[in-house]
Structure 1
Amino acid sequence: MEEQAPQEPSRRRLGRGLSALLGTAAVGDGEGFAGDQDSSTISAELIERNPFQPRKDFDQEQLNELTDSIRQHGVLQPILVRPFGDGYQLIAGERRLIAAKRAGLDQIPSRVLQLSDQQMCEVSLEENLKRQDLNVLEKAAAFQDYLQRFQCTIEELARRLSLDRSTVSNMLRLLDLPETIKDDLRSNKLTAGHARAVLSLSEEDQLALCKRIQDENLSVRKTEEAVRQLVAANTPDTVPFPTGDVDKPARTAPAMTAHVLGMQDQLRDWLGAKVEIKLKGKESGKILIEFKTSDDFERILGRLQRAA
Protein backbone atom coordinates (compact mmCIF):
# COMPACT_ATOMS: atom_id res chain seq x y z
CA MET A 1 0.00 0.00 0.00
CA GLU A 2 1.11 3.57 -0.49
CA GLU A 3 1.63 4.21 3.22
CA GLN A 4 4.21 1.44 3.57
CA ALA A 5 7.88 2.29 3.14
CA PRO A 6 9.14 1.28 -0.33
CA GLN A 7 11.82 -1.31 -0.72
CA GLU A 8 15.32 0.09 -0.93
CA PRO A 9 16.06 -0.61 -4.63
CA SER A 10 12.83 1.10 -5.77
CA ARG A 11 13.50 4.01 -3.45
CA ARG A 12 16.97 4.59 -4.86
CA ARG A 13 15.65 4.44 -8.41
CA LEU A 14 12.87 6.92 -7.67
CA GLY A 15 15.17 9.21 -5.69
CA ARG A 16 17.49 9.78 -8.64
CA GLY A 17 14.59 11.12 -10.70
CA LEU A 18 12.75 13.24 -8.15
CA SER A 19 15.88 14.62 -6.52
CA ALA A 20 16.90 16.02 -9.90
CA LEU A 21 13.54 17.77 -10.14
CA LEU A 22 12.94 18.94 -6.57
CA GLY A 23 16.38 18.93 -4.98
CA THR A 24 18.00 16.06 -3.06
CA ALA A 25 16.31 16.85 0.24
CA ALA A 26 12.88 16.59 -1.32
CA VAL A 27 13.09 12.83 -1.44
CA GLY A 28 14.34 12.40 2.09
CA ASP A 29 12.52 11.54 5.30
CA GLY A 30 11.41 15.01 6.28
CA GLU A 31 14.71 16.89 6.57
CA GLY A 32 13.21 19.66 4.46
CA PHE A 33 12.23 20.23 0.85
CA ALA A 34 13.89 22.33 -1.80
CA GLY A 35 11.71 25.41 -2.19
CA ASP A 36 9.76 24.48 0.98
CA GLN A 37 7.33 27.18 2.13
CA ASP A 38 5.57 25.23 4.83
CA SER A 39 5.36 21.81 6.43
CA SER A 40 1.95 21.62 8.06
CA THR A 41 -1.62 20.48 7.58
CA ILE A 42 -3.93 21.97 4.97
CA SER A 43 -7.70 21.77 4.65
CA ALA A 44 -8.63 19.07 2.16
CA GLU A 45 -11.22 21.42 0.66
CA LEU A 46 -8.48 23.83 -0.42
CA ILE A 47 -6.57 21.23 -2.46
CA GLU A 48 -7.53 20.60 -6.08
CA ARG A 49 -6.29 17.67 -8.13
CA ASN A 50 -3.19 17.71 -10.30
CA PRO A 51 -4.13 18.58 -13.93
CA PHE A 52 -0.97 16.81 -15.11
CA GLN A 53 -1.81 13.50 -13.41
CA PRO A 54 -1.21 10.75 -16.00
CA ARG A 55 -3.11 8.10 -14.04
CA LYS A 56 -6.77 7.98 -15.02
CA ASP A 57 -7.88 4.87 -13.13
CA PHE A 58 -7.21 3.93 -9.51
CA ASP A 59 -7.53 0.41 -8.13
CA GLN A 60 -10.57 0.58 -5.84
CA GLU A 61 -9.47 -2.32 -3.64
CA GLN A 62 -6.12 -0.67 -2.99
CA LEU A 63 -7.85 2.64 -2.29
CA ASN A 64 -10.12 0.91 0.25
CA GLU A 65 -7.10 -0.64 1.97
CA LEU A 66 -5.33 2.72 2.07
CA THR A 67 -8.47 4.39 3.46
CA ASP A 68 -8.62 1.81 6.29
CA SER A 69 -4.93 2.37 7.02
CA ILE A 70 -5.37 6.14 7.20
CA ARG A 71 -8.37 5.77 9.53
CA GLN A 72 -6.15 3.83 11.93
CA HIS A 73 -2.79 5.53 11.56
CA GLY A 74 -3.38 8.81 9.73
CA VAL A 75 -1.42 10.00 6.69
CA LEU A 76 2.15 8.90 7.37
CA GLN A 77 3.73 10.60 4.35
CA PRO A 78 2.76 14.22 3.57
CA ILE A 79 1.38 14.99 0.15
CA LEU A 80 3.10 17.60 -2.04
CA VAL A 81 1.19 20.73 -3.09
CA ARG A 82 1.88 24.14 -4.61
CA PRO A 83 0.07 27.46 -4.03
CA PHE A 84 -2.65 27.94 -6.63
CA GLY A 85 -5.24 30.71 -6.64
CA ASP A 86 -6.87 30.94 -3.23
CA GLY A 87 -5.82 27.42 -2.31
CA TYR A 88 -3.42 24.72 -3.41
CA GLN A 89 -2.88 22.32 -6.29
CA LEU A 90 -1.77 18.76 -5.73
CA ILE A 91 1.70 17.83 -6.99
CA ALA A 92 2.02 14.24 -5.75
CA GLY A 93 0.01 11.94 -3.51
CA GLU A 94 -3.42 11.79 -5.14
CA ARG A 95 -4.23 8.33 -3.75
CA ARG A 96 -3.39 9.56 -0.25
CA LEU A 97 -5.59 12.62 -0.74
CA ILE A 98 -8.54 10.58 -2.04
CA ALA A 99 -8.19 8.01 0.76
CA ALA A 100 -7.82 10.71 3.44
CA LYS A 101 -11.04 12.36 2.27
CA ARG A 102 -12.80 8.98 2.31
CA ALA A 103 -11.49 8.42 5.83
CA GLY A 104 -13.10 11.71 6.90
CA LEU A 105 -9.92 13.74 7.46
CA ASP A 106 -10.44 17.50 7.24
CA GLN A 107 -6.75 18.39 7.48
CA ILE A 108 -4.05 16.73 5.35
CA PRO A 109 -0.31 16.72 6.20
CA SER A 110 1.28 18.60 3.31
CA ARG A 111 4.52 20.04 1.99
CA VAL A 112 4.19 23.26 0.02
CA LEU A 113 6.58 23.72 -2.92
CA GLN A 114 7.05 26.37 -5.56
CA LEU A 115 6.98 24.54 -8.91
CA SER A 116 6.38 25.59 -12.51
CA ASP A 117 3.86 23.75 -14.70
CA GLN A 118 6.69 21.87 -16.41
CA GLN A 119 8.18 20.76 -13.09
CA MET A 120 4.70 19.71 -11.93
CA CYS A 121 4.27 17.56 -15.02
CA GLU A 122 7.71 15.96 -14.59
CA VAL A 123 7.13 15.16 -10.92
CA SER A 124 3.78 13.54 -11.75
CA LEU A 125 5.41 11.42 -14.45
CA GLU A 126 8.29 10.45 -12.15
CA GLU A 127 6.07 9.40 -9.27
CA ASN A 128 3.69 7.36 -11.40
CA LEU A 129 6.27 5.80 -13.72
CA LYS A 130 8.73 4.81 -11.03
CA ARG A 131 6.52 4.08 -8.01
CA GLN A 132 3.38 2.59 -9.53
CA ASP A 133 2.71 0.80 -12.80
CA LEU A 134 0.64 2.92 -15.12
CA ASN A 135 -1.31 1.47 -17.99
CA VAL A 136 1.12 1.60 -20.94
CA LEU A 137 -1.30 3.76 -22.92
CA GLU A 138 -1.64 6.17 -19.99
CA LYS A 139 2.15 6.48 -20.01
CA ALA A 140 2.16 7.10 -23.75
CA ALA A 141 -0.62 9.70 -23.50
CA ALA A 142 1.23 11.45 -20.66
CA PHE A 143 4.42 11.55 -22.73
CA GLN A 144 2.56 12.94 -25.74
CA ASP A 145 0.85 15.57 -23.61
CA TYR A 146 4.21 16.66 -22.19
CA LEU A 147 5.82 16.93 -25.66
CA GLN A 148 2.95 19.02 -27.01
CA ARG A 149 2.47 21.16 -23.91
CA PHE A 150 6.14 22.10 -23.46
CA GLN A 151 7.28 21.93 -27.10
CA CYS A 152 10.25 19.67 -26.42
CA THR A 153 11.78 16.66 -28.15
CA ILE A 154 11.66 12.99 -27.22
CA GLU A 155 15.36 13.15 -26.36
CA GLU A 156 14.78 16.01 -23.93
CA LEU A 157 11.88 14.26 -22.22
CA ALA A 158 13.81 11.00 -21.93
CA ARG A 159 16.74 12.85 -20.40
CA ARG A 160 14.53 14.67 -17.89
CA LEU A 161 13.03 11.36 -16.72
CA SER A 162 16.27 9.32 -16.92
CA LEU A 163 14.78 6.98 -19.53
CA ASP A 164 16.15 5.61 -22.80
CA ARG A 165 14.99 7.56 -25.84
CA SER A 166 13.83 4.33 -27.46
CA THR A 167 11.63 3.55 -24.44
CA VAL A 168 9.77 6.83 -24.80
CA SER A 169 9.62 6.58 -28.60
CA ASN A 170 8.27 3.02 -28.66
CA MET A 171 5.64 3.90 -26.09
CA LEU A 172 4.46 6.91 -28.11
CA ARG A 173 4.07 4.77 -31.23
CA LEU A 174 1.45 2.68 -29.43
CA LEU A 175 -0.92 5.63 -29.70
CA ASP A 176 -1.06 5.04 -33.47
CA LEU A 177 -2.69 1.63 -33.01
CA PRO A 178 -6.40 1.07 -33.81
CA GLU A 179 -8.79 1.58 -30.90
CA THR A 180 -9.67 -2.14 -30.85
CA ILE A 181 -6.06 -3.05 -30.16
CA LYS A 182 -5.76 -0.26 -27.58
CA ASP A 183 -8.78 -1.72 -25.77
CA ASP A 184 -7.09 -5.14 -25.74
CA LEU A 185 -3.98 -3.53 -24.28
CA ARG A 186 -5.96 -1.82 -21.53
CA SER A 187 -7.69 -5.08 -20.63
CA ASN A 188 -4.37 -7.00 -20.67
CA LYS A 189 -5.44 -9.25 -23.53
CA LEU A 190 -2.26 -8.09 -25.27
CA THR A 191 1.07 -7.04 -23.82
CA ALA A 192 3.02 -3.95 -24.80
CA GLY A 193 5.56 -6.28 -26.44
CA HIS A 194 2.88 -7.74 -28.69
CA ALA A 195 1.60 -4.27 -29.55
CA ARG A 196 5.06 -2.95 -30.43
CA ALA A 197 5.68 -5.96 -32.66
CA VAL A 198 2.68 -5.25 -34.93
CA LEU A 199 3.31 -1.52 -35.37
CA SER A 200 4.97 -1.92 -38.78
CA LEU A 201 1.91 -3.68 -40.27
CA SER A 202 -1.11 -2.20 -42.01
CA GLU A 203 -4.19 -1.71 -39.84
CA GLU A 204 -5.89 -4.71 -41.44
CA ASP A 205 -2.93 -6.99 -40.70
CA GLN A 206 -2.56 -5.55 -37.20
CA LEU A 207 -6.14 -6.47 -36.34
CA ALA A 208 -5.87 -9.94 -37.88
CA LEU A 209 -2.59 -10.75 -36.15
CA CYS A 210 -3.77 -9.46 -32.76
CA LYS A 211 -6.79 -11.77 -32.99
CA ARG A 212 -4.43 -14.62 -33.82
CA ILE A 213 -2.20 -13.72 -30.85
CA GLN A 214 -5.14 -14.17 -28.52
CA ASP A 215 -6.61 -17.24 -30.24
CA GLU A 216 -3.27 -19.07 -30.40
CA ASN A 217 -1.68 -17.53 -27.30
CA LEU A 218 1.37 -16.43 -29.32
CA SER A 219 4.47 -15.30 -27.47
CA VAL A 220 6.09 -11.98 -28.35
CA ARG A 221 8.89 -13.82 -30.17
CA LYS A 222 6.42 -15.82 -32.29
CA THR A 223 4.50 -12.62 -32.96
CA GLU A 224 7.66 -10.93 -34.22
CA GLU A 225 8.29 -13.89 -36.55
CA ALA A 226 4.72 -13.68 -37.83
CA VAL A 227 5.22 -9.97 -38.52
CA ARG A 228 8.39 -10.67 -40.52
CA GLN A 229 6.51 -13.22 -42.60
CA LEU A 230 3.64 -10.80 -43.26
CA VAL A 231 6.01 -7.99 -44.25
CA ALA A 232 7.85 -10.30 -46.64
CA ALA A 233 4.60 -11.56 -48.15
CA ASN A 234 3.25 -8.02 -48.63
CA THR A 235 6.41 -6.61 -50.23
CA PRO A 236 5.90 -6.59 -54.01
CA ASP A 237 8.77 -7.78 -56.16
CA THR A 238 7.82 -5.41 -58.99
CA VAL A 239 5.69 -2.35 -59.58
CA PRO A 240 4.36 -1.27 -63.01
CA PHE A 241 5.36 1.95 -64.73
CA PRO A 242 2.64 4.58 -64.16
CA THR A 243 2.22 5.19 -67.92
CA GLY A 244 0.02 2.13 -68.36
CA ASP A 245 2.23 0.98 -71.28
CA VAL A 246 1.98 -2.82 -71.05
CA ASP A 247 4.92 -3.27 -73.45
CA LYS A 248 7.39 -1.78 -70.95
CA PRO A 249 9.05 -4.16 -68.51
CA ALA A 250 8.11 -4.12 -64.86
CA ARG A 251 10.32 -2.05 -62.58
CA THR A 252 11.79 -3.58 -59.43
CA ALA A 253 10.52 -1.92 -56.25
CA PRO A 254 13.27 -0.50 -54.01
CA ALA A 255 13.83 -2.51 -50.87
CA MET A 256 13.40 -0.89 -47.46
CA THR A 257 16.93 -1.43 -46.19
CA ALA A 258 17.92 -1.45 -42.54
CA HIS A 259 19.46 1.99 -43.09
CA VAL A 260 16.20 3.46 -44.42
CA LEU A 261 14.17 1.87 -41.63
CA GLY A 262 16.66 3.24 -39.11
CA MET A 263 16.30 6.74 -40.58
CA GLN A 264 12.53 6.38 -40.38
CA ASP A 265 12.77 5.54 -36.68
CA GLN A 266 15.15 8.45 -36.09
CA LEU A 267 12.70 10.85 -37.72
CA ARG A 268 9.87 9.48 -35.56
CA ASP A 269 11.99 9.99 -32.45
CA TRP A 270 13.10 13.48 -33.45
CA LEU A 271 9.67 14.77 -34.43
CA GLY A 272 7.63 12.84 -31.87
CA ALA A 273 5.21 11.88 -34.64
CA LYS A 274 4.37 9.00 -36.96
CA VAL A 275 6.72 9.15 -39.95
CA GLU A 276 6.72 6.89 -43.01
CA ILE A 277 9.30 6.79 -45.78
CA LYS A 278 8.04 5.55 -49.16
CA LEU A 279 10.62 4.78 -51.81
CA LYS A 280 9.81 5.19 -55.52
CA GLY A 281 13.19 4.57 -57.06
CA LYS A 282 16.84 4.24 -56.23
CA GLU A 283 17.16 7.93 -55.37
CA SER A 284 13.58 9.13 -55.04
CA GLY A 285 10.63 8.79 -52.71
CA LYS A 286 8.62 10.74 -50.18
CA ILE A 287 8.41 11.24 -46.43
CA LEU A 288 4.96 11.29 -44.82
CA ILE A 289 4.60 13.01 -41.44
CA GLU A 290 1.34 12.58 -39.55
CA PHE A 291 -0.13 15.20 -37.22
CA LYS A 292 -3.28 14.80 -35.15
CA THR A 293 -4.17 18.39 -34.17
CA SER A 294 -3.34 21.94 -35.25
CA ASP A 295 -1.15 22.27 -32.14
CA ASP A 296 0.67 19.08 -33.12
CA PHE A 297 1.19 20.52 -36.62
CA GLU A 298 2.61 23.76 -35.21
CA ARG A 299 4.96 21.79 -32.93
CA ILE A 300 6.30 19.68 -35.82
CA LEU A 301 6.59 22.72 -38.09
CA GLY A 302 8.48 24.64 -35.41
CA ARG A 303 10.85 21.74 -34.96
CA LEU A 304 11.59 21.65 -38.72
CA GLN A 305 11.99 25.42 -38.93
CA ARG A 306 14.47 25.48 -36.03
CA ALA A 307 16.49 22.74 -37.70
CA ALA A 308 16.51 24.67 -40.99
Structure 2
Amino acid sequence: MVVKRRALGKGLEALIPSDISDRSGYTTISVSEIEPNPYQPRERFSNEGIKELSDSIASKGLIQPIVVRKHNGKFQVVVGERRLRAVKILGWKYVDVVVVDVEDKDLLQMALIENLQREDINPVEMARAYRRLSEEFGMKQEEIAEVVGKNRATVANVMRILKLPDEVQELIEEGRIGLSQAKELLTIDDKRIIVEIAREVADKGLTVENIIEKRKRLNRGRREKSRVSEIDPEIEALTDEMSRRLQTKVKIRYMKGRGKIIIDFYSDDEFSKIIRLIRGY
Protein backbone atom coordinates (compact mmCIF):
# COMPACT_ATOMS: atom_id res chain seq x y z
CA MET A 1 0.00 0.00 0.00
CA VAL A 2 1.42 3.37 -1.05
CA VAL A 3 0.13 6.40 0.81
CA LYS A 4 -0.05 9.65 -1.15
CA ARG A 5 1.95 12.54 0.15
CA ARG A 6 0.08 15.02 2.31
CA ALA A 7 0.95 18.43 3.69
CA LEU A 8 3.78 18.47 6.22
CA GLY A 9 2.93 19.36 9.79
CA LYS A 10 4.99 20.54 12.73
CA GLY A 11 5.13 17.29 14.69
CA LEU A 12 6.14 13.68 14.25
CA GLU A 13 2.49 12.66 14.13
CA ALA A 14 2.24 14.54 10.82
CA LEU A 15 4.95 12.40 9.24
CA ILE A 16 2.81 9.25 9.27
CA PRO A 17 -0.56 9.73 7.53
CA SER A 18 -3.54 9.16 9.79
CA ASP A 19 -5.16 6.58 7.48
CA ILE A 20 -2.42 4.04 8.26
CA SER A 21 -2.58 4.22 12.04
CA ASP A 22 -3.68 0.59 12.21
CA ARG A 23 -1.48 -2.26 11.00
CA SER A 24 -3.60 -2.78 7.90
CA GLY A 25 -1.59 0.03 6.31
CA TYR A 26 1.76 -1.65 6.95
CA THR A 27 3.83 -3.55 4.41
CA THR A 28 6.45 -6.15 5.34
CA ILE A 29 9.66 -5.92 3.32
CA SER A 30 13.21 -7.21 3.52
CA VAL A 31 15.56 -5.07 5.59
CA SER A 32 18.18 -5.51 2.86
CA GLU A 33 15.91 -3.66 0.43
CA ILE A 34 15.93 -0.47 2.50
CA GLU A 35 18.49 2.24 1.75
CA PRO A 36 19.32 5.23 4.00
CA ASN A 37 17.81 8.63 3.34
CA PRO A 38 20.28 10.47 1.05
CA TYR A 39 18.94 13.75 2.41
CA GLN A 40 19.32 12.79 6.08
CA PRO A 41 20.41 16.01 7.80
CA ARG A 42 21.78 14.19 10.81
CA GLU A 43 25.41 13.22 10.21
CA ARG A 44 26.25 11.76 13.62
CA PHE A 45 24.40 8.92 15.30
CA SER A 46 25.09 7.90 18.88
CA ASN A 47 26.03 4.23 19.04
CA GLU A 48 24.84 4.16 22.64
CA GLY A 49 21.50 5.67 21.63
CA ILE A 50 21.01 3.15 18.82
CA LYS A 51 21.85 0.29 21.22
CA GLU A 52 19.28 1.55 23.74
CA LEU A 53 16.68 1.76 20.97
CA SER A 54 17.45 -1.77 19.79
CA ASP A 55 17.06 -3.05 23.36
CA SER A 56 13.68 -1.30 23.58
CA ILE A 57 12.55 -2.79 20.26
CA ALA A 58 13.69 -6.23 21.35
CA SER A 59 11.61 -5.87 24.52
CA LYS A 60 8.50 -4.07 23.27
CA GLY A 61 8.58 -4.55 19.51
CA LEU A 62 8.65 -1.90 16.79
CA ILE A 63 5.88 0.40 18.03
CA GLN A 64 6.24 2.98 15.26
CA PRO A 65 6.90 1.74 11.71
CA ILE A 66 9.72 2.87 9.48
CA VAL A 67 8.41 5.17 6.74
CA VAL A 68 9.91 4.56 3.28
CA ARG A 69 9.42 5.47 -0.35
CA LYS A 70 10.03 3.41 -3.48
CA HIS A 71 13.19 4.36 -5.35
CA ASN A 72 14.96 2.60 -8.24
CA GLY A 73 13.50 -0.81 -7.45
CA LYS A 74 14.28 -0.57 -3.73
CA PHE A 75 13.11 1.54 -0.80
CA GLN A 76 14.57 4.66 0.82
CA VAL A 77 14.02 5.72 4.41
CA VAL A 78 11.82 8.78 4.75
CA VAL A 79 11.45 8.71 8.54
CA GLY A 80 13.00 6.23 10.97
CA GLU A 81 16.69 5.82 10.19
CA ARG A 82 17.51 5.17 13.85
CA ARG A 83 14.87 2.41 13.89
CA LEU A 84 16.39 0.87 10.76
CA ARG A 85 19.85 0.85 12.35
CA ALA A 86 18.38 -0.67 15.52
CA VAL A 87 16.61 -3.57 13.77
CA LYS A 88 19.80 -4.28 11.81
CA ILE A 89 21.64 -4.65 15.14
CA LEU A 90 18.95 -7.14 16.17
CA GLY A 91 19.51 -9.08 12.96
CA TRP A 92 15.97 -8.70 11.67
CA LYS A 93 15.51 -9.93 8.11
CA TYR A 94 12.09 -8.35 7.58
CA VAL A 95 10.39 -5.28 9.03
CA ASP A 96 7.00 -3.57 8.85
CA VAL A 97 7.04 -0.28 6.98
CA VAL A 98 4.69 2.36 5.65
CA VAL A 99 5.30 3.20 1.99
CA VAL A 100 4.61 6.84 1.07
CA ASP A 101 4.86 8.80 -2.14
CA VAL A 102 7.16 11.80 -1.56
CA GLU A 103 9.47 13.99 -3.62
CA ASP A 104 13.14 14.69 -2.87
CA LYS A 105 12.35 18.02 -1.20
CA ASP A 106 9.83 16.35 1.11
CA LEU A 107 12.38 13.65 1.92
CA LEU A 108 14.72 16.27 3.38
CA GLN A 109 11.90 18.18 5.04
CA MET A 110 10.46 15.11 6.77
CA ALA A 111 13.84 13.94 8.06
CA LEU A 112 14.60 17.46 9.24
CA ILE A 113 11.28 17.78 11.09
CA GLU A 114 11.72 14.37 12.73
CA ASN A 115 15.13 15.33 14.09
CA LEU A 116 14.07 18.82 15.13
CA GLN A 117 11.07 17.52 17.04
CA ARG A 118 13.27 15.06 18.93
CA GLU A 119 16.10 17.58 19.31
CA ASP A 120 18.43 14.97 17.83
CA ILE A 121 20.17 17.33 15.44
CA ASN A 122 22.99 19.71 16.29
CA PRO A 123 23.03 23.35 15.10
CA VAL A 124 25.60 22.76 12.34
CA GLU A 125 23.62 19.86 10.88
CA MET A 126 20.51 22.01 11.12
CA ALA A 127 22.24 24.88 9.29
CA ARG A 128 23.44 22.56 6.52
CA ALA A 129 19.94 21.17 6.11
CA TYR A 130 18.50 24.69 5.82
CA ARG A 131 21.17 25.50 3.24
CA ARG A 132 20.27 22.42 1.21
CA LEU A 133 16.61 23.41 1.23
CA SER A 134 17.66 26.85 0.03
CA GLU A 135 20.29 25.92 -2.56
CA GLU A 136 18.95 22.61 -3.92
CA PHE A 137 15.23 23.33 -3.79
CA GLY A 138 15.15 27.12 -4.08
CA MET A 139 13.28 27.63 -0.82
CA LYS A 140 13.32 31.08 0.78
CA GLN A 141 14.02 31.51 4.47
CA GLU A 142 10.39 32.23 5.27
CA GLU A 143 9.37 29.01 3.47
CA ILE A 144 11.93 27.00 5.43
CA ALA A 145 10.73 28.62 8.65
CA GLU A 146 7.14 27.63 7.92
CA VAL A 147 8.11 24.01 7.18
CA VAL A 148 10.15 23.52 10.37
CA GLY A 149 7.92 25.58 12.65
CA LYS A 150 10.46 28.31 13.38
CA ASN A 151 10.48 32.04 12.69
CA ARG A 152 12.53 33.45 9.85
CA ALA A 153 15.03 35.21 12.12
CA THR A 154 15.84 31.90 13.84
CA VAL A 155 16.46 30.19 10.49
CA ALA A 156 18.69 33.08 9.36
CA ASN A 157 20.70 33.01 12.59
CA VAL A 158 21.23 29.25 12.42
CA MET A 159 22.39 29.44 8.80
CA ARG A 160 24.97 32.06 9.79
CA ILE A 161 26.76 29.39 11.85
CA LEU A 162 28.21 28.08 8.58
CA LYS A 163 30.24 31.31 8.36
CA LEU A 164 32.27 30.25 11.40
CA PRO A 165 35.68 28.60 10.84
CA ASP A 166 35.61 24.82 10.29
CA GLU A 167 37.31 24.13 13.64
CA VAL A 168 34.59 26.04 15.46
CA GLN A 169 31.85 24.22 13.55
CA GLU A 170 33.46 20.93 14.59
CA LEU A 171 33.31 21.96 18.26
CA ILE A 172 29.63 22.83 17.84
CA GLU A 173 28.94 19.43 16.28
CA GLU A 174 30.67 17.76 19.22
CA GLY A 175 28.36 19.60 21.59
CA ARG A 176 31.20 21.55 23.20
CA ILE A 177 29.86 24.92 22.04
CA GLY A 178 26.16 25.83 22.27
CA LEU A 179 24.05 27.76 19.82
CA SER A 180 23.92 30.92 21.95
CA GLN A 181 27.70 30.91 22.31
CA ALA A 182 28.13 30.33 18.57
CA LYS A 183 25.88 33.31 17.80
CA GLU A 184 28.00 35.52 20.05
CA LEU A 185 31.20 34.33 18.34
CA LEU A 186 29.72 35.55 15.05
CA THR A 187 29.90 39.14 16.35
CA ILE A 188 33.73 38.92 16.20
CA ASP A 189 35.22 39.75 12.80
CA ASP A 190 38.68 38.24 13.28
CA LYS A 191 38.66 34.49 12.50
CA ARG A 192 41.85 33.89 14.44
CA ILE A 193 40.31 35.43 17.55
CA ILE A 194 37.09 33.47 16.98
CA VAL A 195 39.03 30.18 17.01
CA GLU A 196 41.00 31.18 20.11
CA ILE A 197 37.89 32.09 22.09
CA ALA A 198 36.01 29.02 20.77
CA ARG A 199 38.74 26.78 22.14
CA GLU A 200 38.37 28.45 25.52
CA VAL A 201 34.61 27.96 25.38
CA ALA A 202 35.11 24.26 24.66
CA ASP A 203 37.90 23.69 27.19
CA LYS A 204 36.92 26.04 30.01
CA GLY A 205 33.16 26.33 29.60
CA LEU A 206 33.04 30.06 28.92
CA THR A 207 29.54 31.53 28.98
CA VAL A 208 27.98 34.03 26.58
CA GLU A 209 28.75 36.76 29.12
CA ASN A 210 32.42 35.69 29.14
CA ILE A 211 32.56 35.93 25.36
CA ILE A 212 30.97 39.40 25.41
CA GLU A 213 33.54 40.59 27.96
CA LYS A 214 36.40 39.21 25.86
CA ARG A 215 34.99 40.97 22.78
CA LYS A 216 34.77 44.24 24.69
CA ARG A 217 38.39 43.91 25.78
CA LEU A 218 39.38 43.09 22.21
CA ASN A 219 37.60 46.17 20.90
CA ARG A 220 39.19 48.36 23.56
CA GLY A 221 42.61 46.99 22.66
CA ARG A 222 42.06 47.71 18.99
CA ARG A 223 41.01 51.27 19.67
CA GLU A 224 44.05 51.85 21.87
CA LYS A 225 46.35 50.38 19.25
CA SER A 226 44.95 52.34 16.31
CA ARG A 227 45.02 55.69 18.14
CA VAL A 228 42.38 56.93 15.73
CA SER A 229 40.61 58.69 18.56
CA GLU A 230 40.69 58.86 22.32
CA ILE A 231 38.54 56.37 24.19
CA ASP A 232 35.35 58.06 25.32
CA PRO A 233 33.79 56.09 28.20
CA GLU A 234 30.39 57.62 27.45
CA ILE A 235 30.49 56.49 23.78
CA GLU A 236 31.64 53.04 24.84
CA ALA A 237 28.83 52.77 27.39
CA LEU A 238 26.33 54.01 24.82
CA THR A 239 27.55 51.41 22.31
CA ASP A 240 27.07 48.62 24.85
CA GLU A 241 23.62 49.93 25.80
CA MET A 242 22.48 50.15 22.16
CA SER A 243 23.78 46.65 21.42
CA ARG A 244 21.87 45.31 24.40
CA ARG A 245 18.64 47.16 23.61
CA LEU A 246 18.67 46.38 19.89
CA GLN A 247 19.90 42.81 20.50
CA THR A 248 22.55 43.03 17.77
CA LYS A 249 26.05 44.35 17.14
CA VAL A 250 26.32 48.16 17.13
CA LYS A 251 29.36 50.30 16.28
CA ILE A 252 29.67 54.01 17.06
CA ARG A 253 32.49 55.88 15.38
CA TYR A 254 32.78 59.35 16.89
CA MET A 255 35.44 62.00 16.44
CA LYS A 256 35.16 65.73 17.09
CA GLY A 257 31.41 66.03 16.65
CA ARG A 258 31.20 63.80 13.58
CA GLY A 259 30.93 60.07 12.93
CA LYS A 260 28.50 57.27 12.20
CA ILE A 261 26.43 54.57 13.90
CA ILE A 262 26.47 51.11 12.31
CA ILE A 263 23.77 48.59 13.27
CA ASP A 264 24.17 44.99 12.06
CA PHE A 265 21.21 42.85 10.92
CA TYR A 266 21.06 39.59 8.97
CA SER A 267 17.49 39.23 7.73
CA ASP A 268 14.40 41.27 6.92
CA ASP A 269 12.82 40.08 10.17
CA GLU A 270 15.79 41.33 12.20
CA PHE A 271 15.66 44.66 10.35
CA SER A 272 11.95 45.06 11.13
CA LYS A 273 12.55 44.11 14.77
CA ILE A 274 15.31 46.75 15.10
CA ILE A 275 13.07 49.42 13.58
CA ARG A 276 10.30 48.54 16.06
CA LEU A 277 12.74 48.76 18.97
CA ILE A 278 14.04 52.14 17.77
CA ARG A 279 10.51 53.47 17.41
CA GLY A 280 9.61 52.14 20.83
CA TYR A 281 6.85 49.66 20.00
Where does structure 2 lack aligned partners over 5 or more consecutive residues?
A: 1-7, 230-254, 272-281
Superposed displacement of residue 110, structure 1: 0.6
**Residue 142 of structure 1 aligns to a residue in which SS?**
helix
Deviations 1:7-51 (CA, angstroms, capped at 9, x unpaired): xxxxxxx9634566766x27xx8159xxx9x52211111111101
**Residue 69 of structure 2 aligns to a residue in which SS?**
strand
Please report the TM-score for the alignment, with normalisation by the length of structure 1: 0.67
Correspondent of 1:71 among 58, 78, 92: 58
Q: Which residue of 2 aligns with 1:170?
A: 157
The one-letter amino acid paired with 2:207 is S
Matched, 1:223 2:211: yes
Mark the CA change 1:122 to 1:214 in structure 2 (over 3 Å): closer, same or farther: closer
Q: Which residue of 1 aligns with 2:250?
A: none
Matched, 1:30 2:21: yes
State how 1:194-273 maps to structure 2 within 5 Å. 194-201=181-188, 202-214=190-202, 217-231=205-219, 233-234=221-222, 238=228, 255-258=260-263, 261-262=264-265, 265-266=266-267
Deviations 1:85-122 (CA, angstroms, capped at 9, x unpaired): 21211100011111112211111111111111111111
Contact 2:124 2:162 in 1 (8 A): yes
- Percent of pairs identical after alignment? 29
Mark the CA change 1:214 to 1:94 in structure 2 (over 3 Å): closer, same or farther: closer
Mark the CA change 1:94 to 1:126 in structure 2 (over 3 Å): closer, same or farther: same
Q: 2: CA distance between counterparts of 1:61 and 1:99?
A: 11
Mark the CA change 1:21 to 1:47 in structure 2 (over 3 Å): closer, same or farther: closer
Q: 1: CA distance between counterparts of 2:208 and 2:86?
A: 38
Q: 1: CA distance between counterparts of 2:256 and 2:136?
A: 46
Deviations 1:220-247 (CA, angstroms, capped at 9, x unpaired): 12322332443455466759xxxxxxxx
Contact 1:197 1:227 in 2 (8 A): no
Mark the CA change 1:211 to 1:112 in structure 2 (over 3 Å): closer, same or farther: closer
Mark the CA change 1:46 to 1:175 in structure 2 (over 3 Å): closer, same or farther: same
Q: 1: CA distance between counterparts of 2:202 and 2:88?
A: 41
Mark the CA change 1:269 to 1:108 in structure 2 (over 3 Å): closer, same or farther: farther
- Number of aligned residue pairs: 236
**Residue 175 of structure 2 aligns to a residue in which SS?**
coil
State how 1:95-174 maps to structure 2 within 5 Å. 95-174=82-161
Aligned residues: CA RMSD: 3.2
Q: 2: CA distance between counterparts of 1:269 and 1:41?
A: 49
The one-letter amino acid paired with 1:227 is R
Superposed displacement of residue 157, structure 1: 0.5
Superposed displacement of residue 60, structure 1: 0.9
Mark the CA change 1:59 to 1:18 in structure 2 (over 3 Å): closer, same or farther: closer
Where does structure 1 lack aligned partners over 5 or more consecutive residues?
A: 1-13, 240-249, 271-308
